[in-house]
Structure 1
Amino acid sequence: MYVEHLSLTDFRSYAQVDVELGPGVTVLVGSNGLGKTNLVEAIGYLATLGSHRVSSDVPLLRFGTEQAMIRAMIVRGAQKTLLEVEINSGRANRGRINRANPVRARELLGICRTVLFAPEDLALVKSDPSHRRRFLDDLLVSLLPRHAATRSDFERVLKQRNALLKSARAGKFSSGHEATLEVWDQHMAAAGAQLLRARLDLVERLRPHVARAYAELTEGPKEARIDYRSTLSGPLTDDGNAEGATAGEAADLAGLSVPELTERYLVAFAAARRRELERGISLVGPHRDELDLILGGAPARGFASHGETWSMALSLRLGSYYVFLEDAPAEGQSPVLILDDVFAELDVQRRERLAGIVAGAEQVLVTAAVEADIPDKLDGRRIAVVPGGIDEGQR
């Protein structure tokens, strides 16, 4: 798979820009602040309907505008598909496929697949569990777009249930609210079980590929491992640490069906009822689970060196790439690889190893402020990013 053409209107710093792309390696070179990351961010947005830099869509609109447009021609094997996404201020985003009637933006999910590496990926290792949960859910939706609804349904139910618990903490909770809470328990247990089952299956697929990627990047003595830790084995703090006596012990959830997980959640909600009413929030559910990153037997977070942290973050992305290849092994189906200003952050050894791994991908898009940071293995077309646009006179 590759992006053949990209057009942006009122997206970030661009009033209008058109870029011709193609298979192989393309390096976007330009000083910081000129907009090279904006170009690859737009491609990533087509794949996930989210930005790797910001949590909301508002910063994506050029200042003073109410709408931005991303258009891209995607080539997947022998098929070409024109994708358009309209990012709106104050109303729902819309999408188009091959200039047909507008559809919900999430109908575009799964058509363009990308794996994006960026300096922000250090947060996958160093920051709180929400970054790792988002990583899993974004990958899950890219692989199986139907889970966009799974994710959305859970978030909607969680919001309603939290509002009810918050009213209890404010002293506005009556006996009638108890029955309402039990109804929302049922909804949240069902939605949470769907999301948890999907995440557990994904982690099983991802685990060997993360271990492989870390070994390829380092060839060191330490092994990388990922494990999923659910609040069904005990409540977790906001930092992903266990609050109770079950610290470090995961429930054996691997073989449980969605109905069985639903029942587990209902039991867990009942056990946590008093504490949830006291705190006014839902303490059990996928929204408080953790993806443990383990390096050489120790948690990567807090124990890994800077270089090891980078290698673990890169391994999560490379592992995702390998999962995509496993999911769609036919020629022309591999995802677009995007490396956004990554090489400037890596030492020479990691640069060379990463370049060697990705160089053979169908399409590799790289951004760099200094062309000398790009390893020779990623030789290919260069495009200069200049104020307000691009200069395609580069080789």
Structure 2
Amino acid sequence: MYLQHLSLSDFRSYAQVDLSLEPGVTVLVGANGLGKTNLVEAVGYLSTLSSHRVSSDGPLLRFGSDRALVRARLVRGSQTVGLEVEINLGRANRARINRANPVRARDILGICRTVLFAPEDLSLVKGDPGSRRRFLDELLVALLPRHAATRSDYERVLKQRNALLKSARSQMYSRAGVSETHQATLDVWDQHMATAGAALLSARLELLERLKPHLAAAYEQLTDGSKVLSAHYRSSLGPSTEGEPGEYLNETSAGEQIGRKPGAEELEVLAAMSIPELTERYLHSFVAARRRELERGLSLVGPHRDELELTLGQAPARGYASHGETWSIALSLRLASYYVLLEDAQIEGNAPILILDDVFAELDVQRRSKLAAIVSTAEQVLVTAAVDADIPAELSGAHIQVIPGGLARDEG
């Protein structure tokens, strides 16, 4: 797959801009602040309906505008597909496929596949568990777009259940105590959350099994191979026979473990369970955690409390990896995502577009060269850089100069 044309209206700094592209490598070069990252951010938005730079859509609209338009023409094998996303301020976003009637924005997920590398990826290693959960979930949706509903269903139920727990907590410390109505309503939301949580957990565990071999291979490609990178899923589900659910992870300390942590055998048990079995396991854990959840007024058990633990050699990557190793781990996570998507691209021409946003300036010469050699074989690679000197020689192709008020192309 490759992006043939991109058009933006009132997106970020652009009132209007049009960009024509070809397969292979395209480098967008320009000084900071001129809008080169805005262009690749828009491409990434078509893929995930989110930005790698901000957590909400508001900043994506040009100042003073109440909507932005991102239009693209994609070539997938012998087919050409037109996509349009309308990002609206204060109301639901809409999308169109091949200029048909508007559909929900999430209905376009899976059509444009991208893997985006950016300096923000360091948070995948150094940041809190939420960054790594989001990484897994976004890859999950890219592979199987139906899991966008799985993810949103869980988030909706979690929000409702937390609101109920907060309300019950205020009653708990009053003379009346928690009412029978609150208890009964919690039982209902426990069932909803167990069902949604089981579906999300099962999907994550299946995805991780596909990701792990590619992750180890990617890290070996980028380094001298003296250390092995591995990933382990840490679930907040209580063990089947002992211990307290929700005590494996302390979210405030970004994944540091308290109490008993589940080992490989326990996670193998979870991975082997069906969704109905996981649902029952969650219900059991909710019962065991009920008092502590009421005391704190929030949900302590569920996929939102889980962790993807990265280990380099024998030590946790977070807190122990050097700066260079941290960069290699972050790049390996993105490369592994690319390999998983590539493996899944059974339809000819459905390989993901690679986007490298201002990454090479952060890397030493050795890592630049190795990363460039790996990604140069992709069907389409979009690269941003402040200066030409940041671009490795392995990435030869079209160069587009981002200048104040527009773009200028020269072949390099």
Q: 1:254: how far off?
A: 1.3
The CA deviation string for residues 355-382 of structure 1, in whole angstroms up to 9 with x for no partner, is: 0101010000000001111111100000
Residue in structure 2 matched with residue 39 of structure 1 by the alignment:
39
What is the RMSD computed on CA atoms of the aligned residues? Answer: 1.2
Letter in 1 for 2:18: D
Percent identical among aligned pairs is 71
SS in 2 for 1:52: coil
Q: 1:242: how far off?
A: 2.9
Q: 1:241: how far off?
A: 2.7
The CA deviation string for residues 293-329 of structure 1, in whole angstroms up to 9 with x for no partner, is: 1100211000000000000000000000000111114
Task: Quote the Cα distance in structure 1 between the aligned partners of 2:92 and 2:166.
Answer: 28
Q: 1:332: how far off?
A: 1.6
The reply to whether residue 341 of structure 1 matches residue 375 of structure 2 is no
Any unmatched runs of 5+ in structure 1? none
SS in 2 for 1:326: helix
The 8 Å contact of residues 293 and 299 in structure 1, kept in 2 or not, is answered as: yes
Letter in 2 for 1:289: D
Which residue, out of 375, 386, 389, partners 2:403? 386
The 8 Å contact of residues 124 and 131 in structure 1, kept in 2 or not, is answered as: yes
Task: Give 1:93-242 correspondences, 5 Å limit.
Answer: 93-171=93-171, 173-233=178-238, 234-235=245-246, 236-238=249-251, 239-242=254-257
Q: 1:171: how far off?
A: 2.2
The reply to whether residue 267 of structure 1 matches residue 284 of structure 2 is yes
Residue in structure 2 matched with residue 246 of structure 1 by the alignment:
261
Any unmatched runs of 5+ in structure 2? 173-177, 239-244
Task: Quote the Cα distance in structure 2 between the aligned partners of 1:360 and 1:182.
Answer: 53
Letter in 1 for 2:287: A
SS in 2 for 1:83: strand
Q: 1:170: how far off?
A: 1.8
Residue in structure 1 matched with residue 83 of structure 2 by the alignment:
83
Letter in 2 for 1:183: V
Task: Quote the Cα distance in structure 2 between the aligned partners of 1:152 and 1:330.
Answer: 28
TM-score under structure 2 length normalisation: 0.94
Q: 1:127: how far off?
A: 0.4
Task: Quote the Cα distance in structure 1 between the aligned partners of 2:71 and 2:170.
Answer: 48
Q: 1:393: how far off?
A: 4.5
SS in 1 for 2:250: coil
When the two structures are aligned, how many residues end up with a matched partner?
395
Task: Quote the Cα distance in structure 1 between the aligned partners of 2:258 and 2:274.
Answer: 26
Q: 1:67: how far off?
A: 0.1
Residue in structure 1 matched with residue 329 of structure 2 by the alignment:
312
Residue in structure 1 matched with residue 241 of structure 2 by the alignment:
none
SS in 2 for 1:378: coil
Q: 1:247: how far off?
A: 6.3
The CA deviation string for residues 31-88 of structure 1, in whole angstroms up to 9 with x for no partner, is: 0010000000000000000000000000000000000000000111001000000000
Task: Quote the Cα distance in structure 2 between the aligned partners of 1:108 and 1:331.
Answer: 19
The 8 Å contact of residues 376 and 394 in structure 2, kept in 1 or not, is answered as: yes
Task: Quote the Cα distance in structure 2 between the aligned partners of 1:333 and 1:95.
Answer: 20
The CA deviation string for residues 134-174 of structure 1, in whole angstroms up to 9 with x for no partner, is: 00000000100000000010000000000000012222742
Task: Quote the Cα distance in structure 1 between the aligned partners of 2:255 and 2:290.
Answer: 20
Task: Quote the Cα distance in structure 2 between the aligned partners of 1:29 and 1:37.
Answer: 10
TM-score under structure 1 length normalisation: 0.98
Task: Quote the Cα distance in structure 2 between the aligned partners of 1:68 and 1:363.
Answer: 25
Task: Quote the Cα distance in structure 2 between the aligned partners of 1:383 and 1:306.
Answer: 31
User: After the TM superposition, which of the residue ranges 380-389 and 123-132 deviates more from structure 2?
Assistant: 380-389
Task: Quote the Cα distance in structure 2 between the aligned partners of 1:4 and 1:22.
Answer: 6
Task: Give 1:36-75 correspondences, 5 Å limit.
Answer: 36-75=36-75
The CA deviation string for residues 118-145 of structure 1, in whole angstroms up to 9 with x for no partner, is: 0000000000000000000000001000
Q: 1:275: how far off?
A: 0.5
The CA deviation string for residues 254-297 of structure 1, in whole angstroms up to 9 with x for no partner, is: 10000000000001001111110000000000001000111002
